Amino acid sequence: MNSFVKLPLALVLATAATTAAAECTDAMIGEKTTEISTNMQALAATDPEKMMEISTALSTAMEAAANADDVEMVCTSLDEILADMNS
């Protein structure tokens, strides 16, 4: 790949990374936690064992994110938990 192509590709990747970080807001965290809460209530009725597993994972992930004081880590953890819930 020549330098002419590498520079625009690097700029696109850098912009995507910056955009992803900028997208993690308190509002998004609130939306994700609300969705998780709703899904947890449904799981309590249909699959209590999976609900407990996800609850433990959520607690562990949020404790790690709080200790790291990393908002992006919070969003990533919530996204992973939502993906697990929807699988």
Q: What DSSP line would sit under 38-57, residue for residue?
A: HHHHHHHHH-HHHHHHHHHH
Q: What are phi and psi of 69, to 5 degrees?
A: 50, 50
**Which pLDDT tens digits describe the chain residue by residue (87 residues)?**
444 334 443 334 444 444 444 588 889 989 998 999 999 999 999 999 989 998 998 888 888 887 888 888 889 989 999 998 888
User: Could you tell me the two tokens for 7?
Assistant: 């520079």
pTM of the model: 0.65
Alpha-carbon distance 51 to 73, whole Å?
22
